[in-house]
Structure 1
Amino acid sequence: MTQEAHVTQGPLTTEAGAPVADNQNSETAGVGGPVLVQDQLLLEKLAHFNRERIPERVVHARGAGAYGTFTLTRDVSRWTRAKFLSEVGKETGTFLRFSTVAGNLGSADAVRDPRGWALKFYTEEGNYDLVGNNTPVFFIKDAIKFPDFIHTQKRDPYTGSQEADNVWDFWGLSPESTHQVTWLFGDRGIPASYRHMNGYGSHTFQWNNEAGEVFWVKYHFKTDQGIKNLTQAEANRLAGEDPDSHQRDLRESIERGDFPSWTVQVQVMPAAEAAEYRFNPFDLTKVWPHEDYPPIEIGKLELNRNPENVFAEVEQSIFSPAHFVPGIGPSPDKMLQGRLFGYGDAHRYRVGINADHLPVNRPHATEARTHSRDGALYDGRHKGAKNYEPNSFGGPHQTDRPLWQPVSLTGGTGNHAAPVHREDNDFVQAGTLYRLYSDDEKARLVENLAGFIAKVSRDDIAERAINNFRQADGDFGKRLDAAVQALRG
């Protein structure tokens, strides 16, 4: 089943609107002669064809998306003054883009890789972008390491292939990655579809209420379809038979009215508790245990409308963690702080300085009022209005009320590591996760890891990688070492 096409009546035209007499034969100097440069339709079509693609995303290039609705089911005004979270039953339009991380635009969906979870809320106070993953943690905790990390996941500049040496060399030398790697190589490392996985904001964010009180929050989106995953063997087969498996599943489920949905939860920490919490609450490589801060259900997210054009609405969609609304803001999470710049800058390069003018990106429930002008594809929306502030011609003006509350700081500037809390280390949560797995899950985890580590060419890189898992849990390291040795002979 395909979506009904939009048929435009009348003759085919050029980009300038002139009718096209012949779209089958280029103009030549006589029958069989060379093509003439005056055939502007031919040149226009070829020139446009050469420019149909924009640079793909460096990460999260491969993706699919859909529109939907977020419905608030719990009063959360005690924690945040965000208007779209102000009234039980209130509905807010959304656009959600799913993606893989490492693969390029033409890669397969069914691969072992985190899944991006980029959710745009079209609120009456502007767009709020929540840009996370299907994992509650990540490989690193400081954005300064992100380019290096991604270089290890992408193609090697010499071989042109992803290299196990690069991946495990970096992970072995970055023990903070042990928790996420344990997650990734477990059963949830390859979701069966985008519908059958959870989503997470991953970072810690600030909520602040009308009284100015501050709370730290983490977002959870629990799939109502149930968790469903693929084994490595199933994924290998599916990736070869149907590289578009996840995109197709999402589109077809919405077409048949089987709208996927997620139950939305938050963990809430009063700001005063952060300094003495047993883990650094802003460390992206760690979770907040549920026994410390139980998830609180606040809403439902449903996807119910497919994009009409994948390029216009999925490929050109932009998301930035810096897109906040009143009552929501950032935390001192060093990965999040780097992403506040990195994402917006990527879109300015990739789509253009006026990417926010595109229908999928512009606010739907309010109007953007800025003094920014010109640049490629500027649509002239401001007409004759003044382009500076303050002005006395009735232009938009500042509100004098920040979106989020300030965070108190002490000390001097410098290249500081994040503060260490009493139970912080790089291995404790990876070990906890391993011990939560059943015997069968542990066996598959070890098999998946060993199969990849065994491809490493140097013994020292393999041993350093294994040692990180050994420090997380002795049994984990012992079983993995034996499995790798058996594969390496």
Structure 2
Amino acid sequence: MGTPSDGNGKQRQREAYHAEDPASGPLTTDQGVDVDHTDDSLTVGERGPTLMEDFHFREKLTHFDHERIPERVVHARGAGAYGYFEPYESCAEFTRAAFLQDPSVRTPVFVRFSTVQGPRGSADTVRDVRGFATKFYTSEGNYDLVGNNFPVFFIQDGIKFPDFVHAVKPEPHNDIPTGASAHDTLWDFVSLQPETLHAIMWLMSDRAIPRSYRMMQGFGVHTFRFVNAEGRGTFVKFHWKPKLGAHSLVWDEAQECQGRDPDFNRRDLWLAIEAGEYPEWELGVQLVPEEDEFAFDFDLLDATKIIPEEQVPVRPIGRMVLDRNPENFFAETEQVAFHTANVVPGIDFTNDPLLQARNFSYLDTQLIRLGGPNFAQIPVNRPVAPVRTNHRDGYHQGAIHRGTNYFPNSLGGGCPAHVGAGGSAFTHYTERVDGATIRRRSPSFQDHYSQAALFWHSMSGWEQQHIVAAFRFELGKVDARAVRARTVEQLARVNGELAAQVARGVGVPEPSAEQAAQVKQVSPALSLQSLRGDGSIRTRQIAVLVADGVDAGQLGSVRETLAAEGAVVEALAATEEPVTGTDGQSYTVDRSLPTVASVLYDAVLLPGGPTGTPAVTGDPDAVRFVRSAYRHGKPIGALGSGVGILSALEPEGLRLSTEFHHMISDRGVVTDTAPGAAHTDFVRAFVAAIAAHRHWGRPPLRC
């Protein structure tokens, strides 16, 4: 499990699987009795009543009636994949966890990505937190790193979790909206709970609409504790950093994706792995010595806070690669069970009050969802380490136990026995805890505005614009004006100009001048501009608009270069009939323009030939495609007469190549009217524009 393989290896895996799969033989009942015919029920005569003695009918319908299990209360819609993790070097200095010791040892993993608010039938590209949960099948047992794509959460104490989830879920009277946070109850809760504001700033940013699961950061959220062989503890926060960089959609195209392809992110992950483009993340940690627990102006145990990377740098300790798709969605992705309390020797908890609640809630949830306590025997949940317990019986018990089922015992030879002190067993970190039993939060948890302000001030100009637009959209969907106004008043404690811009957009009074949180520094690591990845364009989806008469030389040279860089290039035309190039050759069309949209692609190429002629510039599908890509800041390359379609849209103030110029690159629009095959400078500039992902500050189009 979890080792990469080439295409032929994948084929051999599939053939071996199907050779062992009973479904490849004749159809049988659950009891192994061959079945000859299941298209018709057993009846009295051809038009008579159905007979209940038809046990094939009863068995088939009974199974169908019970196929569904309760979906997850949160994180219901997800996608998963198998892979492996390998450390860069031994981490024995700060943890005894076996899977973090030997760079030559690969630990199998299963990862599940998900949205949070919506049900299984909702869309992928909603504005929401994304789950990023990793199950490590270590030699010492399963370790679950259950995280999100935000490093902070909305509440500080788990006792508020039911309130938050009830508020963000659809309105109770009409079960609307699906998969969205733009409604009254969520914002009523936010306006009354200022501890939510930091996570809300992340939710209103483009982090909440990732381009791909493969281009998304992950975080452990909580402060955990590493423990080394000497018993010394070190506080730790976990970070997953994608090799391809962190990239997002913009809100307008995210909404269109929901209609064009509601499975946009799930399909992207599946197809990339099937194509051998295995996604990769680097695991990093922020380490804080225990003696520095109180060295910050926030509480390390507060899940609504980050440790700025400028204060504690992220130390890379290993990498994870996902290289295999599940064979069956229900059996694996749907039945996988994560639990924050699944830890191994060398990793332990802290007194984070939200983490403590999750340690109870996750197990409690799985007992209901998966039908009993034996869900760890489901293959996707089963450890690779030996399991020897005195647990017995219950729903779905698959093991045949022998011997005694208690400890201590003599009849069973004393087995299974305790490892004993000093062995490989998990032992809780030893710390002294004193205090009265109280129901009161520490004063160190009371600053709810400083880090929300830090996030705002760390954003680039275009990111701040998107955050303002997101607040306007969300609060614009809130019917209760008092909730709108109260939320804006809370935003004024974060930043006055942010609050004023939102207020003007949602029709409530601008808040009076109030002391906003003071920000002493910014954290560039919070901005998407600092997360460009390795600079490659691997797996980027490039749309090429073609028609009969396309300049074959230009098309061929650019397409070959983009493919060599790892991009996925698709030819689009008015229909899916092949087009004829200037060389007389026939070229395959991958998709027709009416069936796609630019929101499904990362960049657009307009080769020379008929692209810039009135016949194409007047095609509403082609115009819509290019206009949308331009407006969303996507890279656009145009060659020869292909520049004509851009000229026809009249981008005011944008420099385009003319007959007097060769290549020009201006804000991600790369044009070259020079005749012949694409020049090296054009290709290099277009690849660089694609690697940058988005280009903001473009002038508007007149047409």
Report the TM-score when normalising by structure 2: 0.67
Does residue 35 in structure 1 map to residue 50 in structure 2? yes
Give the partner amino acid of 2:310: E
Matched ranges for 1:469-480 at <5 A: 469-480=491-502
User: Which residue is equivalent to 2:138?
Assistant: 123
Q: 1:405 aligns with which of 429, 435, 448?
A: 429
Return the structure number with greater relative CO, CA threshold 8 A, min gap 6.
1
Change (3 A) 1:227 1:362: same
Q: Please, which of 340, 364, 386 is the counterpart of residue 404 of structure 2? A: 386
Instruction: Determine the C-alpha separation between the residues in 2 that align with 1:273 and 1:139.
Output: 25
Shift of 1:464: 1.4
Q: Which residue does 1:416 correspond to in 2?
A: 440
Q: Does 1:26 align with 2:45?
A: no
Q: Which residue number corresponds to residue 467 of structure 1?
A: 489
Match for residue 680 of structure 2?
none
Out of 26, 36, 41, the residue aligned to residue 11 of structure 1 is: 26
Show the 5 A alignment for 1:203-218. 203-218=222-237
Aligned match of 2:206: 187
Cα distance in 1 for residues equivalent to 2:341 and 2:246: 30
Partner of 2:84: 69
> What displacement does 1:397 show?
2.3
Matches within 5 A, 1:336-415: 336-352=355-371, 353-364=373-384, 366-381=385-400, 383-392=401-410, 393-394=412-413, 395-401=415-421, 402-415=426-439
Question: How far off its partner does 1:487 sit?
Answer: 12
Q: Percent identity?
A: 42
Aligned 8 A contact 2:481 2:508 in 1: no
Match of 1:268, SS?
A: strand
Identify unmatched segments of 5+ residues in structure 1.
none
The secondary structure found in structure 1 opposite 2:143 is strand
* Contact residue 224 and residue 263 of structure 1 kept, 8 A: yes
- Alignment partner of 1:241 out of 256, 260, 274: 260
**Larger gyration radius, structure 1 or structure 2:** 2
2:335 counterpart of 1:311: no
C-alpha spacing 1:115/1:398, structure 2 compared with 1 (3 Å): same
Correspondence for 1:140 among 146, 151, 155? 155
Q: Which moved more, 1:71-80 or 1:268-277?
A: 268-277
Query: Which amino acid letter does the alignment assign opposite residue 408 of structure 2?
Result: P
- 2:185 is the counterpart of 1:166: yes
Whichever residue aligns with residue 48 of structure 2, its letter is G
8-17 vs 443-452, which moves further: 8-17
Letter in 1 for 2:211: A
- State the partner residue of 1:457: 479
Superposed, 1:273-352 pairs within 5 Å as 273-352=292-371
**Equivalents in 2 of 1:431, 1:103: separation in Å?**
29
CA deviation vs aligned residue, 1:344-374 (integer Å, no higher than 9, x gap): 110011002211001100102x111111111
What amino acid maps onto 1:185 in structure 2? M
TM-superposed deviation, 1:486: 7.9
3-state SS of 2:41 partner = coil
Q: Cα RMSD over matched residues?
A: 1.8
Q: Which residue of 1 aligns with 2:468?
A: 446
Q: CA deviation at 1:400?
A: 4.1
CA displacement, residues 380-413 of structure 1 (integer Å, 9 cap, x when unaligned): 34x2121111222231223345433123222111
State the alpha-carbon separation in 2 of the partners of residues 15 and 222 from structure 1.
46
- Secondary structure (helix, strand or coil) at the match of 1:420 reads helix
- Quick one: structure 1 residues 310 and 178, their matched pair in 2 at CA, closer, same or farther if it must change by over 3 Å? same
Q: Distance in 2 between matches of 1:343 and 1:9?
A: 37
Task: Report SS of the residue matched to 1:49.
Answer: helix
Which position in structure 1 is the counterpart of 2:75?
A: 60
Residues 198 and 220, structure 1, Cα contact 8 Å, conserved in 2 = yes
Distance in 1 between the 2:78 and 2:451 partners?
30
Consecutive unaligned residues of structure 2, counting only runs of 5 or more, are 1-6, 511-703
Counterpart Cα distance in 1 of 2:393 and 2:33: 28
Q: Given that residues 324 and 403 in structure 1 are in contact (C-alpha distance below 8 angstroms), is that contact kept between their aligned partners in structure 2?
A: no
2-structure distance, mates of 1:420, 1:486: 33
Tell me the matched-pair count: 484
What code does the residue aligned with 2:323 have? N
Give the residue type in structure 2 aligned to 1:321.
Answer: T
For each residue in 1:95-142, what CA deviation from the matched residue of structure 2 results, as whole angstroms up to 9, or x when unmatched? 000000000011110110000011000001000001010110011111
Kept in 2: contact 1:74–1:297 (CA 8 A): no
TM-score of the aligned structures, taking structure 1 as reference length: 0.96
1:227 Cα shift? 1.3
The answer to which of 478-487 and 17-26 deviates more is: 478-487
Take 2:295 and 2:458, find their aligned partners in 1: how far apart are those partners?
A: 26
Q: Distance in 1 between matches of 2:349 and 2:306?
A: 17
Measured against aligned partners, the alpha-carbon deviations of 1:239-287 in whole angstroms (never above 9, x if no partner) come to 1111111111111111110000001100001112113432100111000
Offset, 1:459? 2.4
